[in-house]
């Protein structure tokens, strides 16, 4: 049983066994969590018209009375779900939750606006707020259990938040940045394959935005380079990193990161040479002379000026008679 499940069972048992009296009904809203609706004050915040009810919510929010804001806003959505005031009520719920530090619930509240009220005048701001929430999770904020208890950090769940933002408005102002951040989250997971895919998507989809395309191509090279470093003798991934850095340098020669890209190419080529030389030695020790010759030649082709060049040439000369007249077993 994993640790999260054990924790859930323990907390659930504790709550179930703890006697308490609730002074007010606990109201649940899907995706947004729970809030209390207090007894004895309904006449103070309940209204008979949608506009008046929203005014109560607005004023309560201004006064930082978030409990009344939530109650009044939820009443607008419950009693007048199709009114012109419903999108603003849903927005206030999101703002309340976000201000209270309940970011995941706030993200879901904003998502309700996207899905139920796509023509809301707050559409762009809602996407921007979702983006800022996702950034906080990327920075290490924990997702909450039952919307309240900080429980775990997850780059997988964070990447999914960014993906929702992109799906909500693929060509919105924040979508290109969200697409890049999907890659950043995957990199933090060390899931370099998915990071590269995210950056490739950003480079292709937003090729008309030079800064985004440049960032995507450079980060693609970085992700490939990190992946190459995790796999022994992964010459194919190193070559992809070199190709990404080369394309980046050619397409965006004035970018201030070009010198870094060039240095990375030199480092990667040196690693390729070292890797090929090591593979050649492995084949030679295994008496697979032809295979060894292939990789020693690769060392010479990759970098004739490498420190391994002289040794590779010596070994190639030594292999000639062995390949021509292989010794009997």
Query: What's the pLDDT score for residue 5?
Result: 52
My answer on whether 56 and 102 are in the same domain is yes
Q: State the Cα–Cα distance between residues 267 and 238, nearest whole angstrom.
A: 10
Compute mean pLDDT per 10 residues along the chain, 329 residues long, and list them: 49 44 50 50 80 97 95 96 95 95 95 93 94 98 85 95 97 97 97 97 97 98 91 75 97 97 94 88 91 91 88 91 74
The model's pLDDT over 142-197, given as tens digits with 9 standing for 90+, comes to: 998 877 788 899 999 999 999 999 999 999 999 999 999 999 999 999 999 999 99
My answer on whether 148 and 245 are in the same domain is yes
Residue 223 falls within a domain, yes or no?
Answer: yes
Residue 67 falls within a domain, yes or no?
Answer: yes
DSSP per position, 32-52: TEEEE--TT-HHHH--SSHHH
Query: What's the pLDDT score for residue 26?
Result: 52
User: For the chain, what is the radius of gyration of the CA atoms?
Assistant: 29
List the helix and strand counts (H, then E) for the chain: 15, 4
Q: Which two tokens stand for residue 102?
A: 């309940």
Query: What's the pLDDT score for residue 177?
Result: 98
DSSP 117: -
Q: Return the ∠ at Cα 128 (arms to 126 and 130), rounded to 5°.
A: 70
What backbone torsions phi and psi does residue 190 show, to the nearest 5 degrees?
65, 25
- CA-based nearest residue to 247, from 231, 229, 224: 224
Q: What is the share, in percent, of the chain residues with pLDDT greater than 90?
A: 67
Q: State the Cα–Cα distance between residues 127 and 174, nearest whole angstrom.
A: 7
Query: What's the pLDDT score for residue 171?
Result: 94
Residue 188 falls within a domain, yes or no?
Answer: yes
pTM: 0.81
Residue 3 falls within a domain, yes or no?
Answer: no
The model's pLDDT over 188-233, given as tens digits with 9 standing for 90+, comes to: 999 999 999 999 999 999 999 999 999 999 999 999 999 988 865 4
My answer on whether 40 and 105 are in the same domain is yes
Query: What's the pLDDT score for residue 250?
Result: 97
My answer on whether 239 and 302 are in the same domain is no
Residue 265 falls within a domain, yes or no?
Answer: no
My answer on whether 98 and 165 are in the same domain is no
Give the number of domains in the chain.
3
Residue 128 falls within a domain, yes or no?
Answer: no
Residue 5 falls within a domain, yes or no?
Answer: no
My answer on whether 161 and 67 are in the same domain is no
Q: Could you list the residue range(s) of the whole structural domain that residue 191 is in?
A: 142-255
Query: What's the pLDDT score for residue 272?
Result: 86
Residue 136 falls within a domain, yes or no?
Answer: no
Q: Are 233 and 278 in contact (CB under 8 A)?
A: yes
My answer on whether 247 and 297 are in the same domain is no
Q: Domain of 40: which CATH number?
A: 1.25.40.10
């Amino acid at each position: 049983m994993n640790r999260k499940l054990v924790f859930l069972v323990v907390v659930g048992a504790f709550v179930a066994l703890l006697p308490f009296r609730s002074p007010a009904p606990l109201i649940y809203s899907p995706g947004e969590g729970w809030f209390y609706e207090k007894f004895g004050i309904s006449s103070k915040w309940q209204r008979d018209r949608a506009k008046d009810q929203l005014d109560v919510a607005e004023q309560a929010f201004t006064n930082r009375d978030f409990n009344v804001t939530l109650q009044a806003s939820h009443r607008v959505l419950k009693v007048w779900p199709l009114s012109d005031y419903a999108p603003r009520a849903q927005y206030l719920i999101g703002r309340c939750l976000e201000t209270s530090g309940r970011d995941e619930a706030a993200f879901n509240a904003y998502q309700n606006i996207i899905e139920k009220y796509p023509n809301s005048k707050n559409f762009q701001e809602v996407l921007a707020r979702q983006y800022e929430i996702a950034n906080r999770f990327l920075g290490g904020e924990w997702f909450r259990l039952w919307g309240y208890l900080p429980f775990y950090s997850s780059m997988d769940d964070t990447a999914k938040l960014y993906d929702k933002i992109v799906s909500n408005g693929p060509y919105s102002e924040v979508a290109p940045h969200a697409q890049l951040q999907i890659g950043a989250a995957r990199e933090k997971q060390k899931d370099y394959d998915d990071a590269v895919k995210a950056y490739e998507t950003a480079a292709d989809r937003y090729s008309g935005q030079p800064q985004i395309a440049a960032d995507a191509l450079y980060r693609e090279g970085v992700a490939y380079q990190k992946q190459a470093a995790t796999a022994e003798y992964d010459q194919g991934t190193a070559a992809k990193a070199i190709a990404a850095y080369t394309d980046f340098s050619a397409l965006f020669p004035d970018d201030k990161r070009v010198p870094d890209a060039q240095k990375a190419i030199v480092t990667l080529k040196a690693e390729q040479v070292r890797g090929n030389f090591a593979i050649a030695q492995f084949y030679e020790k295994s008496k697979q002379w032809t295979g060894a010759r292939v990789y020693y030649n690769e060392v010479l082709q990759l970098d004739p000026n490498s420190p391994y060049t002289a040794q590779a040439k010596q070994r190639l000369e030594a292999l000639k008679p062995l390949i021509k007249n292989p010794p009997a077993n």
